[in-house]
Structure 1
């Protein structure tokens, strides 16, 4: 058993070294720091407006508007990146997002009316540059161009999903520390600087050339990306991500309600962070899964594990038990996300990959935001168990999807490899 474990760890380490050799050390750093503001501004906007206005209602409306802006415009950012290339789009949106976040901070400090703050929040959400999804697209392009094995491509997706997990654990923690030690405005201001600097660095990195814009038809002037149909399995995969987001949101509401009932409100963020850390660790470990375990099998196993591991939440009434159950539940999250993103990458045409990743992220964020709003009320009315029951229900629906759907693979023409590939020539 010990020898097998060492062999798997060695295999995972070798695979991740291959991924780093593809990217170089700089790209993961700037992509991680560039996506960190996305993980901070949602929670940060709520804390900021609550502090400056004294109204939780106004804070909730502002945070909700920010989430809605991101969900609505995320697919547009991906579509623009497919058509015009990542460099121009990410650079423009990074600078616009920095200005929008700065405007939100200024408006909150000036105690502007709630409708104005909601508009500023929506602008901050709408201009998110989607560094995470586009980094995932770029890394897959690097792996495909190099002729890497499917294991390396899977490890690239694992690596990117783990960076996402870490950002969504670290981001709210940094906001919470800033709120306690000083003021949320400082953290939001830092997020604006970070997205301007690191988002721009990600946009200008030489690897942006590898993700070429869609070619244009000479006669019609229309991008070929618009003519590539979405396979029928894609809506089911996006639904799976939306349900995953709903699990996140319902667990968040249940954790908040239970810690409040126990008089330990300050523990809510730590409990949620413990789940995120375990999820990140499971994501890194995905590189050690043998190739013979196919993507569809992994999807079924991950969703089945999420369902089984969520059920003990229904009987959890004490803080130690909550920590234990939620931490173990984190094992199922990252493997599900990594697997579904991998299935999407294989299913769609390369000319629509960035758009698909943008839609996928919007589905995840939208599911979480909707679940927080709905299950938060359920938890207030019927207790934490109601929110946890909603999380288990979402997990059950995700498992049913995984059992019923057979994802397809993209092939542009007979004889082509059955997955999305970048073009063999770089744009000049």
Structure 2
């Protein structure tokens, strides 16, 4: 197969086509090893930030740890879309191999700079470099599934198969963010504070490279028309970016509130277990969405998930202890995976195929930026007004997301009607280089 793929318009089936695409059929496309490699390769994205906080806190205090972790997130938000653009233009294999090896080296340098007592400037630079080179396994894995299904001939259930694949991929993300922080804490307590970050470096170098070199990796993509690249940002994609930003703000503010609560009650170590309850319920909800027959459109799923999150977040306003905090955070988690499944599924329908990897990484960066902004804002509010102010900020972000979804998420904006004889608008856009 050629390493370069030329895109031409292709028909998309109507949404009420029979649902014949189960998870088993998704796995049959590549075998089980691709999801396994994908999970192991993206686990460092959840392991490294928590591990960095633990490692630097043990070495030089929480102030330096917050700076290091913050620079890690900033670097990832900035470097993610750049890596996505390179992957689209040059192919996933080379871009991900380079990013994985560079990130493993930068993360190892961060461990060395902290454990050998280097200056704060050196530690900060290593942390920033580690963030900039994060290989973006999650977003590019979603783009890979889309490309893989697109080049599988004779499929009559393509849309359902893409939906299943993206749902499965989002579930892997949620599993990673449940396992990663817990693993970082276990390794820090059981071995040494720096062990979690060291394991993240090793996993990135080995599993990241293996994922990059898997035969399913797509090559560079170009249009068959004028040869000019499509625009990246369209109105629908900007709307999805806004919702991703607000989802990140829900996470960042709620996490800050949980940590402030734990400090107030004199048991900071309880913040991790309380926060992990969100990942548990999110994984469960994501599994249900992944395995059940899709009976609603993605636009409807998005509206329902975002509004449900705003309603389920109301108990955050009444938290007064660890038990109520765990229950409130778990309730919010019920809506998280369905929300993300809908966002990334809709991104597949509106993003130009030659910018698919970049579009997915932009949405991932939106989540990170929102989380960082809210963590900073909610942290300051918690310092002056207590943990209820931070948790209230999380609810406000979820309520604003619900308003945005109800006002602007419409079927016609994301998924115009299509017939078997005429390509959908998204498909035509991909072939012509225009945007929806």
Could you state the TM-score of these two structures normalised by the residue count of structure 2?
Answer: 0.88
Query: Are residue 38 (structure 1) and residue 41 (structure 2) matched?
Result: no
For residue 417 of structure 1, report the CA deviation from its aligned partner. Answer: 3.7
Contact 2:223 2:354 in 1 (8 A): no
Q: Determine whether 1:101 maps to 2:103.
A: no
Checking the alignment, whether the CA contact within 8 Å between 2:299 and 2:414 is kept in structure 1 is no
Distance change in 2, residues 1:218/1:279 (3 Å): closer
Give 1:118's aligned residue.
Answer: 124
Is the contact made by 1:348 and 1:410 (CA closer than 8 Å) also made in structure 2? Answer: no
Aligned to 2:299, which of 296, 301, 307?
Answer: 296
Matches within 5 A, 1:70-81: 70-81=76-87
* Most deviating of 192-201 and 134-143: 134-143
Tell me the equivalent position of 2:341.
338
Is structure 2 residue 147 aligned with structure 1 residue 138? Answer: no
Instruction: Report if the CA contact (8 A) 1:23-1:139 is conserved.
Output: no
Map Cα deviations across residues 155-188 of structure 1 (whole Å, 9 max, x no partner). 2111111100111111111111111122122221
Q: Which of 173, 183, 187 is equivalent to 2:192?
A: 183
Cα deviation 1:271-291 (Å, max 9, x = unaligned) = 111110110110111135554
Alpha-carbon contact 2:21-2:160 (below 8 Å) kept: no
**1:207-222 matched pairs, under 5 angstroms:** 207-208=216-217, 211-215=218-222
In structure 2, the partner of 1:244 is 247
- 1:59 and 2:57 correspond: no
Q: CA RMSD in A?
A: 2.5
Helix, strand or coil: the match of 1:215?
strand
Give the paired residue count: 406
Correspondence 1:224 to 2:228: yes
Residue 224 of structure 1 aligns to a residue whose secondary structure is coil
User: Hey, what does 2:203 align to over in structure 1?
Assistant: 194
Structure with greater helix percent: 1
Question: Structure 1 pair 216/408, CA: closer, same or farther in 2 (3 Å)?
Answer: closer
Q: Which has the higher contact order (CA 8 A, sep 6+)?
A: 2
Q: Deviations over 1:285-339 (max 9, x none)?
A: 1135554411111111111101001011101112222222221221011110110
CA distance 1:124–1:89, change in 2 (3 Å): same
What aligned pairs does 1:278-427 form with structure 2 within 5 A after superposition?
278-288=281-291, 290-405=293-408, 406=410, 407-409=413-415, 415-419=422-426
My pick for the range that moved more, 178-187 or 156-165, is 178-187
Q: Please give the alpha-carbon distance, in whole angstroms, between the structure 2 residues aligned to 1:184 and 1:421.
A: 53
